């Protein structure tokens, strides 16, 4: 079983709609979680950290469920510019980041 698993998608989303997707992780000792965004042929960039209590950053909401070992990302009022691959990441000891394979989101007019 991979350490971090994601539905590769693509999730085809009408502009203005809400989309949500999850990521499961197998290492119960994982300390920190993040969502990174990667545009086509570009480098990954941090979108947001994921806190146990859940957190929101504008149209983006991240949740962590330690009992079921998954994190989620919800995007409200989707924009065309939200089209990207969203990478689920967890950090174990030593600042080692483990990336999921990414969930591709395509927002269409």
Partner 1 sequence: DTAVSQTPKYLVTQMGNDKSIKCEQNLGHDTMYWYKQDSKKFLKIMFSYNNKELIINETVPNRFSPKSPDKAHLNLHINSLELGDSAVYFCASSTSGGVGPDTQYFGPGTRLTVL
In the complex, the residues that contact partner 1 under the rule CB under 8 A are: 31-32, 34, 41-46, 49, 85, 87, 91, 93-99, 101-102
CB nearer to partner 1: pick between 76 and 91 = 91
User: With respect to partner 1, which residue has the nearer C-beta, 32 or 76?
Assistant: 32
Query: Angle CA(82)–CA(2)–CA(97) in degrees, nearest 5?
Result: 60
Report the C-alpha gap between 109 and 106 in whole angstroms: 10
Minimum CB distance to partner 1, residue 101 (Å): 5
Nearest approach, Cβ of residue 2 and partner 1 (Å) = 9
CA-based radius of gyration for the chain: 13
**To the nearest whole angstrom, how small is the minimum distance from the Cβ of residue 16 to partner 1?**
28
- Between 18 and 31, CB nearer to partner 1: 31
Closest CA to 33 of 56, 9, 59, 52: 52
Residue closer to partner 1 by CB (options 28, 109) is: 28
The CA distance from 57 to 95, in Å, is 24
For residue 15, how many other CB atoms are within 10 A of its CB? 13
Minimum CB distance to partner 1, residue 58 (Å): 18
């Amino acid at each position: 079983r991979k350490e971090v698993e994601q539905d590769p998608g693509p999730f085809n989303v009408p502009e203005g709609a809400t989309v949500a997707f999850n990521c499961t992780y197998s290492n119960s000792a994982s300390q920190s979680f993040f969502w990174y965004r990667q545009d086509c042929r570009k480098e990954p960039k941090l979108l947001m950290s994921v806190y146990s209590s859940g957190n929101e950053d504008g149209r983006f909401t991240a949740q962590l469920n330690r009992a079921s070992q998954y994190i989620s990302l919800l995007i409200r009022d989707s924009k065309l510019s939200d089209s990207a691959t969203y990478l689920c990441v967890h950090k174990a000891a030593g600042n080692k980041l483990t990336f999921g394979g990414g969930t591709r989101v395509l927002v269409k007019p």
